[in-house]
Amino acid sequence: MKKIPSLWIGIIGCSIFAIFFIFGPYLPKVDSHVTPHSYVVGPKSNLDFILPPYPPNKDFILGSDKKGRDIYSALIMGTRETLTTVFVISFVTFILAIPFGVAAAHIPFFSFLLQGWNYLFSRLPIFFYVIIVSTIPFFIFPPHRGNWMVSFLIIFELGKVGDVVYKGVKLIQNTTYYEAGLVAGSKPYGLWKRYYWPSCYPQWVAYFVQHLGSMLFLLGQLGIFGIFISQALSQQGSPAYAIDNTALVWPMFLFDVLIDFDAFPWVPLFGSLFITLSMLSFVSLGEGILEYHLKKHKGLIVERKPFLFRKRKQHF
């Protein structure tokens, strides 16, 4: 493991975000309620009111957004909801894609279905499909918009992930030791237990971790265009209304990025920094896991037995 820098970078980065995820409300100077401030009193007098957003200072470590919410607290507290969202999307996608891909490797009908599915949603980036669907009036403000959006992302990603599973299974089927298992009369469960899972799970685990990073990147892109998993209408002044994000997630700081970057650069800067660092952590961890298993398969990494076990073996 010492010779795999990407693995260590991924472990350290993901560990930091795991601390934010678990212990976020208890970290120093974190406002667990992410309280908005309509104004603060200036240093001169009680009539010296300062309106948000506030630049980084002693009260707002990373500054505040237009609602006067502390960006530092919002990013820390938003870690749980952001990572939970991407984990649910990736986990459900893989739960459906693995049997889909394995079935496609054995049954021609599922093979054609997977090819069509992958062809349909791989011609354009998923980003454009989400924009098209999310702007349909029925899906803009339904009662369960969050469930609809997550379902769409799973559907759009299912073909791509299923194709990865399909190709991995096909590689196993082209080996001689797999043919020996068929000759020996192995049943489907035996093929899964002895051939598919041991050979494919490192690639699937690595791809799953990297998929988390790609989903973070996608949510960040959608946030720039004001498309969120959960949103609602907010009145800006009669009769004007605006779409407002209702979840505490990192992409909310990327809305109006072109305007904010000139006037309030700290608002999109720190939001995009959190997304970038977390994305790089997941990608590095996925690459490190895959590289570790490749070196282990080649015999470059030897697992050491526990100390007590070695002592007991020498004693006998």
Per residue in 62-76, pLDDT (tens digit) is 999 988 999 999 999
Q: What share of the chain in percent tops pLDDT 70? A: 88
Q: Is residue 237 part of a domain?
A: yes
In sequence order, what are the residues at sequence separation of 6 or more whose Cβ sits closer than 8 angstroms to the Cβ of residue 253? 65, 71, 74, 75, 223, 267, 268, 270, 271, 272
Q: Is residue 185 part of a domain?
A: yes
Q: What is the CATH number of the domain that holds 244?
A: 1.10.3720.10
Three-state DSSP state, 189: helix
Of the candidates 185, 21, 3, 192, the one whose C-alpha atom is nearest the C-alpha of residue 106 is 192
Distance CA(120)–CA(57), nearest Å, equals 50
Q: Is residue 160 part of a domain?
A: yes
Q: 85 with 150: CB under 8 angstroms? A: yes
Q: Is residue 151 part of a domain?
A: yes
Q: Is residue 84 part of a domain?
A: yes
Q: Identify the pLDDT of residue 16.
A: 95
Least confident of 99-103, 109-113, 178-182, 278-282: 178-182
> What is the average pLDDT across 107-119?
93
Q: 224 with 261: CB under 8 angstroms? A: no
Query: Which pLDDT band, with edges at 50, 70 and 90, does 197 fall under?
Result: confident
Query: Which pLDDT band, with edges at 50, 70 and 90, does 150 fall under?
Result: very high
Per residue in 205-219, pLDDT (tens digit) is 999 999 999 999 999
Distance CA(274)–CA(27), nearest Å, equals 17
State the residue range of the domain holding 110: 76-315
Q: Element (H or E) spanning 240, and its range?
A: strand 240-245
The partner residues of 40 in beta bridges, in order of sequence, read: 50
State how many domains the chain has.
Answer: 1
Query: Which pLDDT band, with edges at 50, 70 and 90, does 308 fall under?
Result: very low
Q: Is residue 180 part of a domain?
A: yes
Q: Is residue 119 part of a domain?
A: yes
Q: 13 with 291: CB under 8 angstroms? A: no
The tokens for 197 are: 């899972």
Q: Is residue 227 part of a domain?
A: yes
> What is the average pLDDT across 275-283?
95
